Amino acid sequence: MSDYSMIQEIFSHPVLIFGCGNTLLGDDGFGPGVIEHLLQDYVLPDHVFAVDVGTGVRNVLLDLLLMPEKPRKIFIVDAVIQANRKAGELFEIELEQIPLYQNAAFSLHRFPSVNLLTELRDAAGVEVRILAVQAKHIPAEVSPGLSAEVDASLRGACLWLLDHVKEGA
């Protein structure tokens, strides 16, 4: 898919799923992995568009803020490292919780801009949901491939997303 057609798809669907992360850095590739499985193994409703945005989600969010038409819902899928969670555990993060994660082993430099997501939610009325997986390891150097624990969570993430994109369809 060309960049132009991807942009057209993003701006023409009321529900968006963005898979965030770097597939070259172990479990950080969870978001893109979820998108790959969603598109290969499941049928998304017509009103939903899912895309691997890699590490470029900030640019997409900024473009969405500038567009007159906004989506109804945005789902962000990403990997985090937080104390007291098991590798592969799926959980939802509220926007207000993200600053709390900065005190744990949560790497905000890989996470979408909280300010952009908050602006989309508060000023534009977009429902923002964040689905995270507890990463086992996000290496500092190139090491592609998900850990077994995170890989085993791909199906659960897809099913969670499919269940939630139907709400209010």
CA angle 163–160–89, rounded 5-degree value:
165
Domain 3-165: which topology?
A: Rossmann fold (3.40.50)
Evaluate whether 19 touches 32 at the Cβ level (below 8 Å).
Answer: yes
Confidence class for position 157, pLDDT limits 50, 70, 90:
very high
Q: Which of 153, 167, 156, 128 is nearest to 45 (CA)?
A: 167
Give the pTM: 0.90
Q: What share of the chain in percent tops pLDDT 70?
A: 88
User: For the segment 94-134, what is each residue's pLDDT rounded down to a tens digit?
Assistant: 988 875 554 444 444 445 578 889 999 999 999 999 999 99
Q: Which residues, other chains included, contact 3 with Cβ-Cβ below 8 Å and sequence gap of 6+?
A: none
What pLDDT score does 144 carry? 96
Section 60-87 average pLDDT: 93
Beta strands in the chain, from DSSP E residues, in sequence order: 15-20, 48-54, 73-80, 90-93, 127-134
Is 40's pLDDT higher than 50?
A: yes
Q: Where are the domains of the chain?
A: 3-165
